[in-house]
Amino acid sequence: MNWIDTIAQGVLLGGLYALFAAGLSLVFGIMRLVNLAHGDLIVMGAYLILLVVSVTGINPFLAAAVAMPVMFGLGWALQRVVLNRVLGADILPPLLVTFGLSIVVQNVLLEGFTADSQRIGAGPLETASVDLGVVTLGVMPLLTFGSAVAVIMALNWVFYRTPLGRAFRATSDDPVTASLMGIKPQGIFAVATGLAMVVVTIAALYLGMRANFDPTIGPARLIYAFEAVIIGGLGSLWGTLAGGVIIGVAQTVGAAINPEWQILAGHVAFLVVLLLRPRGLFPRAFD
């Protein structure tokens, strides 16, 4: 067994989990909302891209670009119409509403696309690889990891270098004071969820190109995303990437020892971090 190879694959897999987690982290950071439908929304994004690809026959990357504004609009509307109504001191309503949404999205997809496994075809890219001497890495995993880094850099730029990011941070710190300064928290929340859905679309693209997916796999993606966020520490996007990498490496190492242990190893790694560092590795937010 080649340990270097196993770990390299795990690190790259971590990029995918960081992509799953970035949207979750964004929404939680701004409005303290844990969206239990996050995983199902990723799967929905994958079906949307698949739909665009199969109708128009364009390249999946272009299809994702087409899907992005649609997903932004869906996220914006979801926040405006549903989620803004349940935000508040009580955590029960948002949890139960997003849990209901998770079940609804899963079953809408099941009804619309059947339970058959699907895949977004990416042509020769699927099998292309780069030989680095010590290890051979797939181009697709490398692209995934690169996209995760790019998404996190972009989100950090939006957060700390733009007026929108200033509004995000202000609303996150204190919605009441922010609204005195002419920011409408409800509108900011809607834009944030829309932006999270754009990130979800990128995650969906790689989810769909790398492996088969079906309507039921959303909750497992939510769990990986959640583990990455908690390991990294709430509020730190780079921490989320580190969290994703830890889950990814734990999974590939677990799978190398016994294929049945892949998923279990990821969860155990999460529990160990939670035991040793309850606030994650790079905590920033205090809540």
Q: What angle do CA 195, 26, 39 make, to 5 degrees?
A: 80
Minimum CB separation of residue 278 from another protein in Å reads 4
Q: Between 40 and 137, name the residue whose CB sits nearer to another protein.
A: 40
> 248 and 13 in contact (C-beta within 8 Å)?
yes
Q: Of residues 15, 94, 232, 244, which one binds another protein by CB under 8 A? A: 94
Minimum CB separation of residue 264 from another protein in Å reads 4
77 touches another protein by CB under 8 A:
no
- From residue 34, give the alpha-carbon distance in Å to each of 158, 191, 229: 21, 16, 11
- Alpha-carbon distance of 140 to 4, in angstroms, equals 18
- Alpha-carbon distance of 140 to 237, in angstroms, equals 22
Minimum CB separation of residue 43 from another protein in Å reads 14
244 touches another protein by CB under 8 A:
no
Please name which of 200, 216, 274, 285 lies closest in space to residue 19, comparing C-alpha atoms.
200
Q: Of residues 70, 164, 183, 263, which one binds another protein by CB under 8 A? A: 263
Interactions with another protein, residue window 182-221 (CB under 8 A): 219
Where do we find the tokens 């997003």?
98
- Alpha-carbon distance of 170 to 143, in angstroms, equals 34
Please name which of 39, 102, 78 lies closest in space to residue 186, comparing C-alpha atoms.
78
111 touches another protein by CB under 8 A:
yes
- Alpha-carbon distance of 212 to 142, in angstroms, equals 19
Interactions with another protein, residue window 17-46 (CB under 8 A): 32-34, 36
Q: Give the helix/strand (H/E) hosting 195.
A: helix 185-210
SS3 67: helix
Q: Of residues 69, 93, 123, 146, which one binds another protein by CB under 8 A? A: 93
Minimum CB separation of residue 203 from another protein in Å reads 17
Q: Between 63 and 203, name the residue whose CB sits nearer to another protein.
A: 203
> 127 and 186 in contact (C-beta within 8 Å)?
no
Counting Cβ atoms within 10 Å, is residue 287 exposed (0-12), middle (13-18) or buried (19+)?
A: exposed
User: Among 4-12, 89-97, 182-190, 193-201, which window interacts with another protein (CB under 8 A)?
Assistant: 89-97
Minimum CB separation of residue 91 from another protein in Å reads 5
271 touches another protein by CB under 8 A:
yes
Q: Of residues 7, 51, 70, 108, which one binds another protein by CB under 8 A? A: 108
Q: Between 34 and 164, name the residue whose CB sits nearer to another protein.
A: 34
Residues that bind another protein (CB under 8 A): 32-34, 36, 82, 85-86, 91-97, 99-104, 106-108, 110-111, 219, 222-223, 226-227, 230, 260, 263-264, 267-268, 270-271, 274-275, 278, 287
